[in-house]
Structure 1
């Protein structure tokens, strides 16, 4: 059962307190669990679902997590954000970067992959700190999403089983992936 946004938000301070008690950063916890640092942060903010096979490693990394919190983290989250968060400078700049570079990124995706998009569901994200050649500290944000081609919608005869008489139109529709994908 999916929890409400209010329930998820109520757990966040308790989850963040457990993290603080561990004395570990998101990256430390990620290294111990095999998750990305962004995914660990999402778990702690109730923006991702903790999988049963990952729970023991997370509990070992963050001992203050109670049975109740772990159980709550294993429920499907209510993924959302407060609309005012875009005014926070770091988030505003990330949005600005995507908006500024987005059209070019889209063109390159289409040129290299075809007509499609990057999934934000089958998706990995990490944030890394690196030293540039000039000695300045740099932020590296990696978006790693599965490519999803748009499908051509055709009316080829395609017989679906167990179609109700009221849904006759579906009986003649099918989707096929773009055949130009390499």
Structure 2
């Protein structure tokens, strides 16, 4: 529970600093070369800030203190929400090689539309045969 409280406190601080900057996730994304969804994940401590990108983020949002940048570089503690809709195809997409962006576009009627793009490596389900286990291959 202490980890969740700490994460909540850090997240609130980060979101307040982002708001103070007056920049949108998309603006920060443009300045850092990241996607706007990934920027949102960083500010919510759901993604890990890489050292090479920390300088770009600090340039884009200069009011982030170094201590919080270091917190953002720690692996995030994600939690599972059983209330989320469960979809079998989600488990076949690799989050290791996955991009997501939220953009604004115009519909055929000229009105503003939201375009969400999921671009991930598709991993087919594999049958887990015991004879394929490396630990069993080397047993005699």
TM surpasses 0.5 = yes
TM-aligned CA distance change 1:26 to 1:148, over 3 Å? same
User: Match for residue 118 of structure 2?
Assistant: 143
TM-score by length of 2: 0.83
- Cα offset for 1:133? 1.9
Asked if the contact 1:128/1:141 (under 8 Å) is kept, the reply is yes
Cα distance in 1 for residues equivalent to 2:18 and 2:126: 43
Cα distance in 1 for residues equivalent to 2:103 and 2:81: 25
Between 1:146-155 and 1:118-127, the stretch displaced more is 146-155
- Cα offset for 1:23? 1.0
Asked if the contact 1:43/1:50 (under 8 Å) is kept, the reply is yes
- Cα offset for 1:76? 0.5
User: Match for residue 34 of structure 2?
Assistant: 35
Asked if the contact 1:12/1:45 (under 8 Å) is kept, the reply is yes
TM-aligned CA distance change 1:157 to 1:36, over 3 Å? closer
- Cα offset for 1:145? 1.1
- Cα offset for 1:143? 0.8
User: Match for residue 80 of structure 1?
Assistant: 79
Cα distance in 1 for residues equivalent to 2:109 and 2:66: 48
TM-aligned CA distance change 1:157 to 1:132, over 3 Å? closer
- Cα offset for 1:79? 1.2
- Give the 3-state SS of the residue equivalent to 2:55 in structure 1: helix
User: Match for residue 118 of structure 1?
Assistant: 93
Asked if the contact 1:33/1:58 (under 8 Å) is kept, the reply is yes
> For 1:143-162, what aligned pairs fall within 5 Å after superposition?
143-156=118-131, 160=134
> Which of the pair has more CA radius of gyration?
1
User: Match for residue 24 of structure 1?
Assistant: 23
- Cα offset for 1:129? 0.7
- Cα offset for 1:82? 6.6
Cα distance in 1 for residues equivalent to 2:132 and 2:117: 43
| Unpaired segments ≥5 residues, structure 1 | 87-94, 107-115, 161-169, 174-182
Cα distance in 1 for residues equivalent to 2:12 and 2:122: 35
